[in-house]
Amino acid sequence: MKRISKSILIAITFILVLTSINFNIRYNDPIIKKWAPKNDVAEMPIVQDTRPQKTLQSSVTSPIEQRDSKYIEFLSASVKISVNGSSGSGTICYYDAEENWAYVISCGHLWDGNKSYSKNGPKQKAKIVTWYHNNKKLDDPKQYDAEVLFYSNTRGFDCSCLRFRPDWKPNYFPIAKTDYIIEKSSILNSLGCDGGSEVARYEVQFSEYRGLDLITNKNSPRPGRSGGGLITDAGWYVGICWGTSDTTSGNGIGYFTSLKSIHEIFTKNGHEWLLKLGEFSGRSIPIYDWENPKNKFEWDFIPVPTGIKSYFSFFF
């Protein structure tokens, strides 16, 4: 009888230990590939877009929302995305001047499930809101109709792509190559719309990669910044905001979809051509007109000397 009671006691103790572990541990996260505290990752809740200014409370420890004119380059290519009364953030990653389409990259958890790209299939609708037309700050935010091309809500591959027709020629940040190197502890620009309000910059610090996640320290994201871009000072798009370990104070760590996952989702959905823009590794190098050194051109412009033009015109 004592032996049976002892076995029962051991069994109960074992069950209690497992229960305790279950309450505090998330089993073998498929991306991080290790046991981790359940509160290590808190996917940001979707922000209701009805009264955006009242969504978040500020405190002494809250991240500083930077909207200074010196950050206008980053702010002007960043937008808010409104979907069925909720909102997130996004970044213009390409502008097709011939077709007048601006392409926006964002997260996938603004929608349920996954959606593959279909050229002729019906497109889900969304709204794009912008506060800037390049270096011009608008008096009031302007809204545009957008098409949702594809999205992934799969853990580690939180990603989406939309497009809209702008009434200006927008600046954009091309998606970097998968082998783009981010120096440890380097400062990056995190853009997004806190609580659905006007887009703002956070200064964040690159920490490490955990599986498919890019991790940042300092000024962790808050609700409304889901889908916001992570951009280097050199002008490369390197990550999509999808989660945080602290949804209130901003004192946690930030989780971003990495370039590897972005490239995989875009390629699977037939938009690998958008990734080719990141193959030009000298984007930060200014291009000068050798006939008139005072002239500078766009980073993707290849000037041709007048002499060469005249040479070819002799034959045609």
Vertex 291, ends 289 and 294: CA angle to 5°?
A: 55
Q: Distance (Å, rounded) from C-alpha 79 to C-alpha 105?
A: 10
Q: What is the pLDDT of residues 32-46, one digit of tens each?
A: 344 333 434 555 556
Closest CA to 83 of 120, 108, 57: 108
**E strands present in the chain:** 25-26, 36-37, 42-43, 47-48, 78-83, 86-96, 101-106, 124-133, 136-152, 159-164, 187-192, 200-210, 213-217, 229-231, 237-244, 254-257, 287-289, 292-297
**Mean residue pLDDT across the chain:** 79
Residue 76 in this model has a pLDDT that exceeds 70: yes
Q: Is 89 helix (H, G, I), strand (E, B) or coil?
A: strand
Counting beta carbons within 10 angstroms of the beta carbon of residue 87, is it exposed (0 to 12), middle (13 to 18) or buried (19 or more)? buried
Give the pLDDT confidence score for residue 292 in this predicted structure: 53
Query: Could you tell me the pTM of the whole model?
Result: 0.76
Provide mean pLDDT across the span 127-156: 96
> How much is the average pLDDT of 59-79?
87
Region of poorest pLDDT, from 51-60, 68-77, 162-171, 226-235 = 51-60
* Cβ contact 242:109 at 8 Å: yes
Q: Domain limits of the chain? A: 2-40, 47-278
By percentage, how much of the chain surpasses pLDDT 70?
Answer: 68
Q: In the prediction, which pLDDT does 59 show?
A: 57
Task: Name which of 193, 189, 191, 192 is nearest 203 in CA terms.
Answer: 189
Q: What is the C-alpha end-to-end distance of the chain, expressed in Å? A: 106
Considering only 5-14, 19-28, 129-138, 207-216, which range has the smallest mean pLDDT?
A: 19-28
Q: Are 51 and 58 in contact (CB under 8 A)?
A: no
CB atoms closer than 10 angstroms to residue 66: 17
Q: What one-character DSSP code corresponds to residue 272? A: G
Q: Assign domain 47-278 one CATH number from 3.30.43.10, 2.40.10.120, 1.50.10.10, 3.40.50.10490.
A: 2.40.10.120
Give the residue ranges of DSSP H helices in 156-270: 259-268
Q: Residue 91's closest CA among 78, 107, 102?
A: 78
- Mean predicted confidence (pLDDT) in 20-31: 41
Name the nearest CA neighbour of 234 among 187, 194, 275: 187
pLDDT in tens, 212-261: 999 999 888 888 899 999 999 999 999 999 998 887 777 788 999 999 99
In sequence order, what are the beta bridge partners of 127?
A: 82, 145
Helix, strand or coil, per DSSP, at residue 161: strand
Give residue-wise pLDDT tens across range 99-116: 999 999 999 999 999 999
Of 70-84, 181-195, 281-295, where does mean pLDDT reach its minimum? 281-295
Token pair of 224, please? 């409304």
Q: DSSP secondary-structure letter at 13?
A: H
Furthest-apart CA atoms within the chain: distance in Å:
108
